[in-house]
Amino acid sequence: MTDYANTLDDIRDIFSILHDGTTSTCTGNKDLLTLKVDCEYLAERIDKSYTSFYIECGQIEKIELHPWMNPIDLPQTLLTDIKDIFKAELEILSADIENDFVKITCNQDNTDFDYCGGTLLLSCKTIKIFDQEKRQLTIDEFDKICKGYWNDFSKKAEQSIAEKKQP
């Protein structure tokens, strides 16, 4: 597997783990873009006061948002300017590798915009994830945080079901 393929895997993994997270700010450009992603349910697993993570994308090769127009009969647009793409907060739903980029499906619920979500296409040479205090996390560490949350969530759900079955 090439380094590029590994980077695509990392992009997909980071955005997949941030499922239900929302982009809140962006700084930088195609050389180095920093996104703040609010995802309290995962961030608080590091520190109860944390609410977000930072993603750094280096040497972006492709970034564009194909919005879902709302109402649907509006002319289709394509957003390629970073500031335009992240002007609205995007809620991350899923991420998959497609060809030589990662396709990130997003919702967008601010009615000041004429779209209600879309598909964000992204490829870059480097990607890093940081906690709220900008300490870098490895993909494995980030994945363990996510799995720990979902394991605890599952246990709580099972306990709740068991308690409801008791007379």
pLDDT per residue, tens digit, the chain (167 aa), is 345 568 999 999 999 999 999 999 999 999 999 999 999 999 999 999 999 999 999 999 999 999 999 988 999 999 999 999 999 999 999 999 999 999 999 999 999 999 999 999 999 999 999 999 999 999 999 999 999 888 777 777 667 676 777 66
Between helix 139-165 and helix 3-17 the angle, nearest 10°, is 30
- The answer to whether 28 and 34 are in contact (CB under 8 A) is yes
pLDDT of residue 5: 60
Separation of alpha carbons 131 and 56, rounded Å: 11
Element (H, E) at 107: strand 101-107
Cβ within 8 Å of residue 90, ≥6 positions away: 22, 23, 65, 106, 107, 108, 117, 118, 120
pLDDT of residue 148: 87
pLDDT of residue 1: 36
Number of domains making up the chain: 1
pLDDT of residue 2: 40
Domain membership of residue 79 as a residue range: 3-165
